[in-house]
Amino acid sequence: MTLLSVRSLHVHYFTPQGTVRAVDGADLDVPAGSIVGLVGESGCGKSTFGRALMGVLPSTARVAAGSILFEGRDLVPLAEHERRPLRWRRMAFVPQTAMNALDPVQRLRTQMLEVLCERGGLSRTAALDRAATLLRMVGLDPRVLHDYPHQFSGGMRQRASIALALALDPALVIADEPVTALDVIVQRQVLDVLRDLQHRLNLAMILVTHDMAVVAYACDRVAVMYAGQVVESGPVAAVLEAPFHPYTMGLSHAFPNLRDDAAALVPIEGAPPSLLSPPAGCRFAARCPFAEHACHTQPPPLVEVAQDHLAACWRSTSAQELRALAMQPATWAA
Amino acid sequence: MTMQPVPVIAGEALVKTFRLRHRTVQAVQGVSLAVRAGEALGIVGESGCGKTTTARLLLRLEEPTSGRIRFLGEDITGRHGPALLHFRASAQLVFQNPFDALNPRFTIRRSLSEPLRNFGIPRAEHAGRIEAAMQRVRLLPAAAWLDRRPHELSGGQLQRVVLARALLPGPRLIVADEPVSMLDVSVRAGILNLLRAARDEFGLAAVYISHDLALIRYVCERTVVMYLGRIVEEGPTAALISAPLHPYTKALIAAVPVPHVAQDRAALPILGSLSENAHQGVGCAFRARCPYAVARCGEETPGLRDVGAGRCVACHLAL
């Protein structure tokens, strides 16, 4: 069952230089109870996408078009007073730096009670009980309720902010780079907490990250974003092992990996296009070693290229051949 | 026996204690390491393990509490000011965040001429040297970049400028502290490849500091693993990753995810977290988190011992 279904979402920022099309026609499906990785580079629109889902865009940004179907209801036309009851109760947010979710000068208890009593309508005793349960669920000792977040380590803060997000039993959690600032051991522990919660609570999650290895470790599905659009999506195994979009192919040997013996790493030369005036055709065409004439003039639609696997590439029928070429460093040489 | 060349940089029994208002932090507790010309050494460990402080000590940006620093065999520990000028030109740092490393109001040209001026390179040579440096980091044609300011460049392009600037004074040693962690994944490889090429071309000694073992594996032949201010394991990178000896190294390697669906998701062989177990005093600093600890680990601090094949480990139980 699909819990969240986003179609052709457009989010625009209005700046003195013009309209930045940060998200420009992105599609995403999140089945109930599954973790979907949303990967992409800085500036590709993945964080804006997450914020648009939560309805917490900055004042300079607006959803310009598209639909966000969540539990059978389109959220885009809803007014703020209709969105508010959904936030935290049905969908919750975990930011990259936990300090943005936690107030350093309030005891954790104060903050958890505020959410549980005022928004959740629990009595104080019931709320304290629930707070202790939530903390145990993320692997923290309930005694930390009496402490201030500034006393916590990075891993504890991130666990506490996950516990806070889960307070009102949401169906969907959107986590924006939740492990990026953490050391590998702590990162792994936090990812294990997320996976454990998924199984225990049948929680669905969107994990925004730039790290393909994190996606491979923790996610069931993945959507790859490039320059404001989802260019490929599907089950993690399919997208990683048999990618259809050249950007996904390029990413897989653009950075080192602890196990595979890569003689040479191959960067994708160039940089993503400006979203002030995106190019007419495929947005990756300027960096793509396989681009043909059509790629520069017509934007490729996101279509099914294999069972349950979508990609937006004019050359997807030659994917097998392109994958072989993409393995060779010379292909990517500028 | 062949004569080993003199290391470009060597730290001997380095100790650094920071005195804060209410407590002292023993950031580095007796670290010795040496890097030879053409060699790249990786320093890995969690935040707070002392890896950045160690690098700052080697670069003489921080005064050691005790221990010596030798540059090409010469003791430079107590030197200051003009006596250190030659070393300053010879030892360059590549910063983590290229957005902070360049003055936003300077053009790229000005940022690049600054070190040449500081190290007394004749003015007539500046243009040629800058051109060559831009070529080395593949920002071509140089003229198209030199009059721009940092905000007009992407992170990857800025890091190339930072690298060009570091290479300009003709260093013998490059220290790179998380050189790509702020950059997009698609351009990281470009920077790492340039760093490797510069090392090979000039026979530089290189020190990479990172918490990312995969990156270290790509650029460093030798790696030291630090835990709470001490080296707990040292050895050739490939061997250290394929067969780690110290329980901490084992946990560190097991924690690194790989971009494949099939991977080890078993619980990590490590207990608790760093902050809860920041132990000081007698005994192994890792013992509270070590699943294999025995009584001896609490009674005697394990020293770093040579176990052959260029490997050292500080653990009573290893081998």
Per-chain mean pLDDT for chain B: 91
- The pairing of strands B74-75 and B66-71 is antiparallel
pLDDT on residue A99: 67
The verdict on residue A45 lying in a domain is yes
Number of domain units in chain A: 1
Contact A215 B258 (CB under 8 A): no
pLDDT on residue B279: 58
Please give the residue of chain B at the shortest CA–CA distance from A247: B186
Contact B215 A42 (CB under 8 A): no
pLDDT on residue B1: 46
**Would you say residue B167 has pLDDT above 80?**
yes
The verdict on residue A182 lying in a domain is yes
Q: Divide the 334 residues of chain A into consecutive groups of 10 and give the mean pLDDT of each group.
A: 94 94 95 95 90 93 96 94 92 82 88 92 94 91 91 86 92 91 86 92 94 94 96 96 94 79 78 90 96 96 96 96 90 81
The verdict on residue A105 lying in a domain is no
The verdict on residue A223 lying in a domain is yes
Q: Which two tokens stand for residue B7?
A: 């290391």
Size of interface A-B (CB pairs under 8 A): 125
More confident residue, B319 or B52: B52
pLDDT on residue A258: 84
Which alpha helices (DSSP H) does chain B contain, by range?
51-58, 85-90, 98-101, 108-118, 123-136, 142-146, 155-167, 185-202, 213-219, 237-242, 247-255, 296-299
Answer whether A85 touches B (CB < 8 Å): no
Owning domain of residue A11: 2-90+170-242
CATH number, domain of A71, equals 3.40.50.300
Contact between residue A19 and residue A12 where contact means Cβ atoms under 8 Å apart: yes
The verdict on residue A153 lying in a domain is no
- Is the interface score ipTM higher than 0.95? no
**Would you say residue B296 has pLDDT above 90?**
yes
Q: Nearest 5 degrees, angle CA A104-CA A105-CA A111? A: 80
pLDDT on residue A67: 97
- pLDDT (tens digit, 9 = 90+) per residue, B102-119? 999 999 999 999 999 998
Please give the residue of chain B at the shortest CA–CA distance from A155: B273
Q: Which of chain A's residues have a Cβ under 8 Å away from the Cβ of B188?
A: 254-255, 265, 267
| Residue of A138, A179, A185, A187 to mutate for B, most B C-beta atoms under 10 A | A185
B80 CB contacts (<8 Å, ≥6 apart)?
none
Answer whether A215 touches B (CB < 8 Å): yes
Could you write out the DSSP letters of every residue in A313-334?
A: -TTGGGHHHHHHHHTSHHHH--
The verdict on residue A136 lying in a domain is no
Q: Which of chain B's residues have a Cβ under 8 Å away from the Cβ of A218?
A: 257
pLDDT on residue B140: 87
C-alpha span between A297 and A288 (Å, rounded): 14
pLDDT on residue B272: 73
Percent of chain B with pLDDT strictly greater than 70 = 96
Out of A130-139, B20-29, B130-139, B153-162, least confident range: B20-29
| Mean pLDDT along residues B177-191 | 88
pTM of the model: 0.89
The verdict on residue A148 lying in a domain is no
**Would you say residue B274 has pLDDT above 70?**
no
C-alpha span between B165 and B112 (Å, rounded): 5
Angle between helix A154-165 and helix A184-201 axes, rounded to 10 deg:
20
The verdict on residue A292 lying in a domain is no
C-alpha span between B203 and B262 (Å, rounded): 39
